[in-house]
Copies of this chain bind each other. A is one copy, B any other.
């Protein structure tokens, strides 16, 4: 029986796992229940498992919720069956997991990264939406797996099972990385900075189908990810009565408003596309009070990491200058970040040749353009900078609605196919 067929035999088990995860979505940095389950499963399969502070560099964790909120989520995870000791070990949002399989045989180190977090979306609860109709819709208000990470986690665990079953065919070392907080590109940087992929020769990420994906297909290299930086800016001024003594105020609203406008004037870049968006602004406490507080949520993007860095440098200087205009205090925090990715067309071709032989896809594409941003790029960049190679796959499946949409769903057949594919890739590349 081929790995493809073995994987297909796991179908029901995978669907059940995916649906359990779908019912219990956990947004970035709160994946306590998900990660606990992942750890337990990997341990039971016989992997060496690392988690908590071992795999998360605290200083590099971006866009964390409040401590209070994290504690609420930890309590909920335990109430929903998570192991309390494991949850405690992940306190503060350190919900990343690393599983290692050392074969003892000389060979390459091959790593796969999947993401576990859900979106801040209220799932649709009406007829016509399959998760609702079939009873596995989200039980957490305002949270939903609307980007397929429930599937990605499932694929990662399914591959773990298949890989352990085929341990004898592997060489070198296999690493399975379960990352938190991909939404908002907040989690990868903290894992990469613990050095867990510094020894990796082949690094792979992947995603369940994007718009217009052909069913039962595989894309062996998804490119076009833009480098991006997410910033939160807070302006703190001095309030004053707007009628009685306006000159005593220091106007945080005007500073933030000016920042939003000035940021939009950052020059276009001749080397490629760039983006700037101030997506959210909130300021002021009352109509007749000179506003003493204002916040902005913004992001920059660039076709290359260099262009994005140009945007960030300009943005930071402008934020400070806008604060100076109105003599208010500024604090800026990094809420997320991802680099651009570098396409490896040879590797994409090599995977395609392997998959053609080993798997049953109707169609294999060697390139697709994604357009958005992905912090898997940090894993890929680190490995490529060290002389290794990397690619980001797409598991072809039609989707019921766009990513982050409340009607999102995918064809669960893609789960076992992806697991089989990753297993074949691990066998092939670890033996190179």
Contacts and interface: CB of A to CB of B under 8 A. Distances in A.
A427 B291 CA distance: 47
Interface string A376-393: 000000000000000000
Interface in A260-303: 260-262, 264-265, 267-271, 273-291, 294, 297-299, 301
Interface residues on A, range: 35 or more
A284 B247 CA distance: 28
A226 interface: yes
A277 B290 contact: yes
Interface string A253-264: 110111011101
A40 interface: no
Contact of A287 (B277, B285, B320): B277
B322 A325 contact: yes
Contacts of A291: 278-281
A277 B239 CA distance: 12
A277 B288 contact: yes
B267 A257 contact: no
Given A253-B278, A258-B261, A274-B268, A244 B287 contact: no
Given A242-B301, A257-B281, A279-B285, 6 more contacts: A243-B277, A246-B277, A254-B261, A268-B275, A284-B297, A324-B324
A109 B299 CA distance: 54
A299 B287 contact: yes
Given A287-B230, A335-B287, A247 B267 contact: yes
Interface string A71-100: 000000000000000000000000000000
Contacts of A247: 267-271, 310
Contacts of A184: 287
A195 interface: no
B282 A282 contact: yes
Nearest to A298: B287
B285 A267 contact: no
B373 A243 contact: yes
Given A243-B301, A279-B284, A321-B325, A265 B261 contact: yes
A372 interface: yes
A249 interface: yes
B251 A267 contact: yes
A225 to B, nearest CB: 10
Contacts of A251: 267
A9 interface: no
A245 interface: yes
Contact of A249 (B267, B282, B286, B371): B267
A265 B264 contact: yes
A246 B264 contact: no
The 4 closest A-B pairs by CB, nearest first: A242-B277, A257-B257, A264-B265, A321-B324
B244 A371 contact: yes
A167 interface: no
A318 interface: yes
A215 interface: no
A322 B271 CA distance: 27
Interface string A149-191: 0000000000000000000000000000000000010000000
11 contacts: A243-B373, A244-B372, A257-B257, A257-B260, A267-B290, A268-B273, A277-B288, A279-B288, A280-B283, A280-B286, A281-B281
